[in-house]
Amino acid sequence: MKFLDQAKIYLKSGDGGDGVTAFRREKYIEFGGPDGGDGGRGGDIIFESVENLNTLIDFRYTQHFKAKKGGNGAGSDRTGAGAPSLVIKVPVGTQIFDDERETMLADMDKPGMRIVLLKGGDGGFGNARYKTSTNRAPRRSDKGWPGEERWVWLRLKLIADAGLVGLPNAGKSTFLKAVSGAKPKIADYPFTTLHPQLGVVRLNMSEEFVLADIPGLIEGAHEGTGLGDRFLGHVERCAVLMHLIDGAAGHVVDAWRTIRAELEAYGGGLSEKPEIIVLNKADVMTPRELSSRKAALAKASGAKVMSISAVSGQGVKEVLRALQDVINEAKAERAGA
């Protein structure tokens, strides 16, 4: 299944049904009078977030959504049937923006959320509504009110506890595959990962978290270089970022600064998130190289630097434990807020 995290769709709620003009004609009632019923209400447009979806690919092929019109009224004061609501199911984490992408209309960040985005039109009045003491036989009835319509943008931000960032070929996909059940494509060329990948990491029977692998950033990503920074939105909701650096490639401080600059240029609070810095490929470095590069990176960042080998598993458990601890703290803070 292809990954799609943005889509533009057209929405229209249902028009209200028409009221009718009708009169009673009964054998033993001398003066029948008006009995035209009202029209039914048009269908609403409702969005619902569901857990079994993780892409907006369905909206590439279906881009127009129209709810049904309400039923027309009838004689004998019969009101037209109300039209059913049109429910559009989206992945958890979907945000709905207006056509200009400036105003957020809804943020579907929890499973089972439902929001009425467009209301259906009210039904028109039948002529029975207009009967008065001076107007005993009104012939007025109204058309139903039109429904609402608009174009909206859907943007998916994956719901993950931890985000995995780094330069291309830092070993992010290898790490994700090693610690979870995800099966990302792995190759020895840049930008092997073209779309975000999710994996569930289980430390024990009671602790687990969702890890998101974001396609590699390069210098100038915020200006559209390489794959750009559009996928960074998927880690805006994360509690912690794991910054993976290729220790064997050297220039580890420059690599760290490049990603930090892109996070700051992107905004969205990413540069303020807790960051765990990890040197990868410890198995192909000498102890002296590993020690000196960790020291240089710790001095530049002012933070503790961990080291792993995603291939051999060296140091992986310690890193996962550190990620889980930060996630647990974030959850405890949200629960106490």
- Give residue 159's pLDDT: 74
pTM (predicted TM-score) = 0.74
How far apart are the C-alpha atoms of 37 and 164, rounded to whole Å?
Answer: 61
- Give residue 177's pLDDT: 85
pLDDT tens profile 89-126: 998 889 999 999 889 999 998 889 999 999 999 999 99
- Domains defined along the chain, listed by start: 1-156 (2.70.210.12), 162-336 (3.40.50.300)
Task: State the DSSP string of 40-53.
Answer: PPPPPEEEEEETT-
- Give residue 189's pLDDT: 41
* Torsion sign over Cα 299, 300, 302, 305: negative
What angle do the packed helices 252-266 and 287-301 form, to 10 degrees?
Answer: 30
- Give residue 3's pLDDT: 66
Mean pLDDT by 10 residues, the chain (337 residues): 79 95 79 88 95 83 94 91 95 91 90 94 93 88 94 87 84 84 52 65 83 72 52 80 87 89 83 89 88 91 89 89 90 74
Residues that constitute the known binding site for GTP: 166-173, 191-195, 213-216, 280-283, 309-311
* Cα 252 to chain centroid, rounded: 33
Tokens of 206: 């009671």
How far apart are the C-alpha atoms of 13 and 84, rounded to whole Å?
Answer: 10
How far apart are the C-alpha atoms of 95 and 156, rounded to whole Å?
Answer: 6
pLDDT tens profile 240-279: 999 998 888 878 899 889 888 888 888 778 888 899 999 9
Helix (H, G, I), strand (E, B) or coil at 334: helix
Q: Which element (helix H / strand E) includes 198?
A: strand 197-202
Residues that constitute the known binding site: 166-173, 191-195, 213-216, 280-283, 309-311
- Give residue 57's pLDDT: 85
- Give residue 67's pLDDT: 96
- Spell out the SS3 assignment of 239-267: CEEEEEEEHHHCCHHHHHHHHHHHHHHHC
How far apart are the C-alpha atoms of 108 and 126, rounded to whole Å?
Answer: 39
Q: Which element (helix H / strand E) includes 154?
A: strand 149-156
For residue 50, report the phi and psi dihedrals to the nearest 5 degrees: -125, 155
Task: State the DSSP string of 282-300.
Answer: GGGS-HHHHHHHHHHHHHH
Residues that constitute the known binding site for Mg(2+): 173, 193
- Give residue 263's pLDDT: 85
